[in-house]
Structure 1
Amino acid sequence: MIDFLITLPGILMAISIHEFGHGYVAYILGDDTAKKSGRLSLNPLKHIDPIGFLMLIIAHFGWAKPVPINSNKFKNERIGLFLVSIAGVVCNIILAIICIYVYKYELRYVNMYALNSIILSAISINIGFAVFNLLPIPPLDGSKIILSILPNKLHYYYFKYEHIGSIILVMLMLTDNIGIVANPIYSVIKKLINIIL
């Protein structure tokens, strides 16, 4: 229960900012689908996927309910798809960096153990959420980033085999092999954050 209470704020923040990022960038690019469906919001209750939420609590790798996007409304579909797909990940990384600065400030002026634990958990979860969503496995954001740069003639195969991605994800998590794919991405993001800081 204590672990749950420590990780819950970070999970809710990670889900909310990630999905809001997708919807907001899509809205800027001319697609109001997320706004019309009530998903252009920072309210985590609008974005929670029960299974993905449970996986976030257990493994710190999980997913939210995808924000509806209509790429046909973008002026440039490829660029729009790329920007929308990467927006959630960028938002998680930015939030993780903000939390790092908050942690440094809190550690210096407050230094409350419970608060330290919550902020550190939020940092870890946001980085983990970014890493997980960058995996090049459908239907995660990483696969859509790849889709945005694939030749049109290969899009058919992406959508044909997209459903297999969910099975692969579940198998990787159940066999505890998700790190094989995620660790290289995690290392890159950690180095990026260290450069920024």
Structure 2
Amino acid sequence: MDQLIQTLAIAALPVIFAITLHEAAHGYVARHFGDLTAYAAGRISLNPLRHIDPVGTILIPVLILLFSGGSLLFGYAKPVPVDFGRLRRPKQDMLWVAAAGPLANLAMAIGWGCMLKLAQLLPVNAYTLPLERMADLGMDVNIGLMLLNLLPIPPLDGGRIAVSLLPYRQAVAFSRVEPWGFPILILLLFSGVLASILYPLMGIMRYLLALIFNFQA
């Protein structure tokens, strides 16, 4: 139990940043392309309280950590409201709005990789090991969130990107999957299929970051 409490304490900051900046990025890019819905709702903000969902950001991650023994972490925030019809070029601009969240997670994964390298270069003290663990977990959280959201399942970002890229008729047909997107995701999660897809890709991303920063895996 003590180990789990330590994991929760170290995971809190990376998880909050990963989810907050992911959602804020969607709103910022939507505003850039003409939709002020998120801006009017106050969701283009780095204040985590504006994005935290009590169930998806707190309860579900804690329960998954408990039941997985600390080996798996999954959660979500309140989706940023985007009215795609207000974008200047709705179908084309949807791609950039959807891609903004995963790109924010990629940037944060790189930032945590830099932090991990720094922690390994610093003289060993009472803070270096917790910082190293936080940076390590920060990379995993952001890589996992990025890859999860890039799955081509509406309403995930990957589904939105697919709708943007498909020809109009196929895009309309594919978008009808959206009401079933979350049940499909839960089924993939608890069947183990999601882990079998994400873990190898996460390993590749971790390997690439290790090559870039030359840190000890």
Q: Which TM-score applies when normalising by structure 2? A: 0.82
Output the amino acid matched with 2:172: Y
Identity %: 35
Aligned mate of 1:88, from 98, 101, 107: 101
Partners of 1:192 and 1:136 lie apart in 2 by 23
Task: Report the aligned-residue RMSD.
Answer: 2.1
CA distance in 2, matches of 1:70, 1:196: 38
Asked which structure has the greater RCO (Cα within 8 Å, sep 6+), the reply is 1
Matches within 5 A, 1:64-103: 64-103=77-116
Give 1:120 deviation, angstroms: 1.3
TM alignment of 1:149-160, pairs within 5 A: 149-160=165-176
Map Cα deviations across residues 59-117 of structure 1 (whole Å, 9 max, x no partner). Answer: 32332211111122222222210001011100111011011112212221254211211
Q: What corresponds to 2:50 in structure 1?
A: 46
User: Which position in structure 1 is the counterpart of 2:40?
Assistant: 36
Q: Please give the secondary structure, in 2, of the residue aligned with 1:24.
A: helix
Within-5 A mapping of 1:15-30: 15-30=19-34
Aligned positions of 1:32-181 closer than 5 A? 32-53=36-57, 54-57=59-62, 58=64, 59-111=72-124, 112-181=128-197
In 2, the alpha carbon distance for the partners of 1:95 and 1:166 equals 25
Contact map agreement 2:152 2:158 (CA 8 A) in 1:
yes
List per-residue Cα deviations over 1:22-52 (Å, max 9, x = no partner).
1111111111111101100111221123343
Question: What SS does structure 1 have at the residue aligned with 2:177?
Answer: helix
Tell me the amino acid that sits aligned with residue 29 of structure 1. F
Q: Which blocks of at least 5 consecutive residues in structure 1 are unaligned?
A: none
Tell which structure's C-alpha radius of gyration is larger.
2
Residues in 1 aligned to 2:90 and 2:210: alpha-carbon distance in whole angstroms: 33
Q: Distance in 2 between matches of 1:157 and 1:107?
A: 50
Instruction: Give the whole-Å Cα distance in 1 for the aligned partners of 2:79 and 2:170.
Output: 23
Which residue of structure 1 aligns with residue 6 of structure 2? Answer: 2
Specify every segment of 5 or more residues in structure 2 that has no aligned partner in the other structure, as ranges. 65-71
Aligned residues: 197
